[in-house]
């Protein structure tokens, strides 16, 4: 039995999305893995999911990139904080980054919804750690 129903990947890098999707699929972690390419699309997705829209399954796990075009990860997190805490409480949110600058990591402390950050692309050891720690 798969422990997760839906994983949401939020990243504008096609290669990273491909690699992460492939790893998560190979590890058979979720029934559904969705990909959106910027923060605005992610907010639209979550608004629909929180309203129970059939085509937008509620994510158990979200990976969000810091640096994206249109709306970056921090702008997304600013807006995400406005969602109802009861709806967000069922979601594990993790930040992905290709460069973990001190400034970015300090900024992340402002967002209690983000449990941890990982370098991208994900490694199998990271995913095992995530599943063990949060699920």
What is the tens place of the pLDDT at every residue in 104-135? 888 888 999 999 999 989 999 999 999 999 99
Residue 122: give its domain's CATH number: 3.40.50.2300
What are the φ and ψ backbone dihedral angles of 17, each rounded to 5 degrees?
A: -60, -45
pLDDT value for 3: 82
Domain that holds residue 67: 4-134
Count of structural domains within the chain: 1
Bond before 121 cis per omega within 30 degrees: yes
Q: CB neighbours of 81 closer than 8 A, spacing ≥ 6?
A: 111, 113
pLDDT value for 100: 67
pLDDT beneath 70, residues of the chain: 1-2, 99-100
pLDDT value for 108: 87
β pairing state of 92-97 and 30-36: unpaired
pLDDT value for 69: 87
């Amino acid at each position: 039995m798969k422990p997760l129903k839906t994983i949401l990947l939020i990243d504008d890098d096609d290669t990273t999305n491909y690699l992460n999707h492939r790893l998560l699929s190979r590890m058979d972690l979720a029934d559904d893995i969705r990909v959106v390419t910027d923060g605005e699309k992610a907010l639209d997705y979550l608004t629909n999911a929180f309203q129970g829209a059939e085509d937008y399954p509620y994510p158990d796990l979200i990976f969000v990139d810091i640096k994206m075009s249109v709306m970056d990860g921090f702008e997304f997190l600013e807006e995400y904080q406005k969602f109802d805490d009861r709806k967000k409480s069922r979601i594990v949110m993790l930040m992905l980054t290709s460069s973990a600058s001190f400034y970015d990591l300090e900024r992340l402390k402002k967002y209690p919804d983000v449990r941890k950050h990982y370098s991208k692309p994900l490694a199998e050891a990271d995913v095992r750690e995530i599943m063990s720690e949060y699920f």
